[in-house]
Structure 1
Amino acid sequence: MSRLLLFNKPYGVLSQFTDKGTAGSPRATLSDFIDIPSVYPAGRLDRDSEGLMLLTDDGKLQARIADPKFKAPKTYLVQVEGLPDAAALEALANGVTLKDGPTRPAQVRRIDPPDLWPRDPPVRYRKTVPDSWIEVTLTEGRNRQVRRMTAHVGHPTLRLVRWRIGDWSLEGIAPGIWREA
């Protein structure tokens, strides 16, 4: 029987089991949190992003989750700089044209600040620049896509938390903790 793990990846952790980067200071990886043989990430999450990662020992399931052709919806809670107006939200929802082409339409809505764990290090606070939260659901997964989309409409991402992939949610899973699905 295949295994599926739901993991809340903390900020600063690589979404792989080994660090092939700089030799001087090793960076945190999945192996610092998960000691289960033969499970592999179904998709990636940037080092400066937090939230839900799915890991499995089933190659077919891994492909269904990670491959954009299956269009598994992924929902992100996004703290952005500024207060996006209706036009910015509509542009995100309709899809924007990035350097690698147009994005698919997304579901986007303004949300109240979510009740999340504190981030370490904290997001930089600026007295003169307000921030706000939006929820973005995508059916594709390009490199740093949400960050590039929010920057494109003039509201750079300050904090990015993937909350849901398909039917799986981060609900009740603390940072650095995993559980079986």
Structure 2
Amino acid sequence: MAINKTKHRHFIIYKPYGYLSQFKSHDSKQQSKKFLGSLFDFPENAMAIGRLDEKSEGLLLVTTDGKMSDFVNSQKVEKEYYAQVDGDISAEAVKSLGLGVEIGFNGKKYKTKPCKAFKLNEIPELPKRSQKIRDARHGPTSWVSITLNEGKFRQVRKMTSAVGFPTLRLVRIRVGGIALGSMQVGDVVAVDGFEL
């Protein structure tokens, strides 16, 4: 779906690890936190679409168009993540992820919808993270690709934990037809619209 509206402004960001998916602090307790507003001078009415939590990184779309935000968040648009997990993830665990697993959400049990999940045979070429991930002395790690149409709070992290392989690093690499590609951490690219 191509949506081009010149009156609205749209941006593609590589959100760094350790940043909140908001533009400035709304709370005195957050004074020490890092915000997207320090990466770029975004318009006053800009909003992040499908937030990434503070410890997650990767592709984040920002727009001034509320209808675009609603569309992307309506579960019609795929979001693909690469998760580095603790341990050598088993074929059985990957299959369970794809079928759906039970996680906690809002104090209740929730079964995730079926999704696409597969183990990556090679370590993906991603920029280094600002905070070091534990080293090989603590045991092996592996990478899995998970593509969702839903987006519950911390869903991917909860899913990999549910199958016994907690997430150590989480990078969103794609939203619909928009991919991270060769973007570097902290990059902000203004675009005419989103090709989803």
CA RMSD of aligned residues (A): 1.4
Partner of 1:148: helix, strand, or coil?
helix
Alignment of 1:1-181 (within 5 A): 1=6, 2-21=8-27, 23=29, 25-37=31-43, 38-68=45-75, 71-100=76-105, 101-111=110-120, 112-181=122-191
Task: Out of 137-146 and 123-132, give the one that drifted further.
Answer: 123-132
Question: Structure 1 residue runs of 4+, over 3 Å off?
Answer: 20-25
Amino acid at match of 2:61: L
With over 3 angstroms needed to count, the CA separation of the structure-2 counterparts of 1:22 and 1:80, relative to structure 1, is: farther
C-alpha distance in structure 1 between counterparts of 2:159 and 2:91, whole Å: 15
Q: TM-score, normalised by structure 2?
A: 0.87
C-alpha distance in structure 2 between counterparts of 1:39 and 1:25, whole Å: 20
> Is this contact kept in 2: 1:106–1:139, CA < 8 A?
yes
With over 3 angstroms needed to count, the CA separation of the structure-2 counterparts of 1:22 and 1:150, relative to structure 1, is: farther
Amino acid at match of 2:111: P
C-alpha distance in structure 2 between counterparts of 1:114 and 1:142, whole Å: 25
With over 3 angstroms needed to count, the CA separation of the structure-2 counterparts of 1:155 and 1:20, relative to structure 1, is: same
Amino acid at match of 2:69: Q
Structure 1: tracts of 5 or more residues without a match: none
Equivalent pairs, count: 179
Q: TM-score, normalised by structure 1?
A: 0.93
Which has more strand, going by share of residues? 2
Task: Out of 121-130 and 1-10, give the one that drifted further.
Answer: 121-130
Q: C-alpha displacement at 1:130, in angstroms?
A: 0.5
> Is this contact kept in 2: 1:8–1:176, CA < 8 A?
yes
Task: Out of 160-169 and 33-42, give the one that drifted further.
Answer: 33-42
Partner of 1:90: helix, strand, or coil?
helix
